């Protein structure tokens, strides 16, 4: 099975597993970016712990779900955002103000749009979660 966007497919797997009220989801292949996204989601208590395993087929992540995610998804195309534009994308991807967050790749690494705003950083939109 060939995949173009590993992040989009991993996030949609998480979304589907949450809808099916599963406790664990297997994400494969895994990437540095995916692990950073999962760490961010874990930090904000959307997902539980995750374990990465590597075998001859590459690396996989086993992720524990907490049932906290209503919707999660990748943002395509990955829009470049200036600090003053976050609100436009919040309105587009999030259901309400201060509900969930956008994940932004900035020059200081991956963070939520809330942290990026505080640090006055623009970046590229990667995903959203609420």
Q: What is the mean pLDDT of residues 5-28?
A: 96
| Domain total of the chain | 2
* 70 is a domain residue: no
Domain boundary pick from 65, 93, 112: 65
Q: What's the token pair of residue 14?
A: 């998480």
Residue 1 pLDDT > 60 = no
Which one has a higher pLDDT value, 65 or 56?
65
Instruction: State the pLDDT at residue 2.
Output: 54
Instruction: State the pLDDT at residue 98.
Output: 87
Whether residues 46 and 90 share a domain: the answer is: no
Q: Which long-range contacts (CB under 8 A, 24 or more apart) does 39-48 make?
A: 40/103, 40/110, 40/111, 40/112, 41/69, 41/72, 41/129, 44/101, 44/112, 46/72, 46/129, 47/14
Nearest to 63, CA basis, from 50, 52, 47: 50
CATH assignment at residue 43: 3.30.1370.30
pLDDT-derived band at 55, boundaries 50, 70, 90? confident
* 1 is a domain residue: no
User: Which domain covers residue 58, as residue numbers?
Assistant: 6-65
* 98 is a domain residue: yes
Q: What is the mean pLDDT of residues 86-94?
A: 97
Whether residues 81 and 119 share a domain: the answer is: yes
Q: What's the token pair of residue 123?
A: 């970046």
Domain boundary pick from 36, 65, 94: 65
Whether residues 21 and 44 share a domain: the answer is: yes
Does the pTM of the predicted model rise above 0.75?
yes
Instruction: State the pLDDT at residue 77.
Output: 95
- Answer yes or no: are the C-beta atoms of 93 and 128 closer than 8 Å: yes
* 23 is a domain residue: yes
- Answer yes or no: are the C-beta atoms of 86 and 117 closer than 8 Å: yes
Whether residues 14 and 40 share a domain: the answer is: yes
CA atoms within 13 A on the CB side of 127: 25
Look at the block and give the residue holding tokens 């966007």: 5
pLDDT-derived band at 57, boundaries 50, 70, 90? confident
**Adjacent-strand bridge partners of 24:** 64
Q: How many residues does the chain have?
A: 130
Domain boundary pick from 47, 65, 83: 65
């Amino acid at each position: 099975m060939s995949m173009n966007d590993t992040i989009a497919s991993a996030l949609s797997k998480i979304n589907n597993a949450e809808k099916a009220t599963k406790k664990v989801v297997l994400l494969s292949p895994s990437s540095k970016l995916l692990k950073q996204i999962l760490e961010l989601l874990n930090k904000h208590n959307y997902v539980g712990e995750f374990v990465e395993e590597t075998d001859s087929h590459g690396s996989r992540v086993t992720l524990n779900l907490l049932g906290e995610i209503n919707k999660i998804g990748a943002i395509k195309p990955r829009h470049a955002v200036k600090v003053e534009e976050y609100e436009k994308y919040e309105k587009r991807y999030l259901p309400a103000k201060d509900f969930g967050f956008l994940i932004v790749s900035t020059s200081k690494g991956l963070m939520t749009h809330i942290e990026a705003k505080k640090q006055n950083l623009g970046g590229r939109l990667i995903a959203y979660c609420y």
